[in-house]
Amino acid sequence: MDDGPGMAPGVAERVFDPFFTTKPPGSGTGLGLNISHTIVVRQHNGRMSVETEPGRTCFRVELPVVRQRAESGADG
C-alpha cells in the first residue's frame, strides 16, 4: 500500500499488461507486474487486482487454499 497520488484510470486498467510502464524509455521493462499476474492467475488459479484512488493504491493477491485429504491407512 502507498500514500501517493494514486494511478490514473488508464494506468490502472493496463498495469498488468506486458511491457506497460510509466517510466521513461530505458528505465524499466514493464514486465514485473505482468509476470506476477501470470504466476498468480495461470499457475495457481488465483486472482490479482489493483484498487487505486488519491492517497491509496492497494494490490491484492488471492490464492486458493486446497486442503488435501488424509491418505487412508495407518492413521485412518
Q: DSSP characters for 45-72?
A: --EEEEEEETTEEEEEEE----PPPPPS
Compute φ and ψ for 40, nearest 5 degrees: -65, -45
pLDDT at position 27: 85
Residue 36 inside a domain? The answer is: yes
Domain count, the chain: 1
Which domain, by its residues, includes 58? 9-62
Residue 2 inside a domain? The answer is: no
pLDDT at position 5: 84
Residue 71 inside a domain? The answer is: no
pLDDT at position 74: 56
| Whole-prediction pTM | 0.71
Residue 47 inside a domain? The answer is: yes
pLDDT at position 17: 94
Q: pLDDT tens digit string along 43-69?
A: 999 999 999 988 888 999 999 997 767
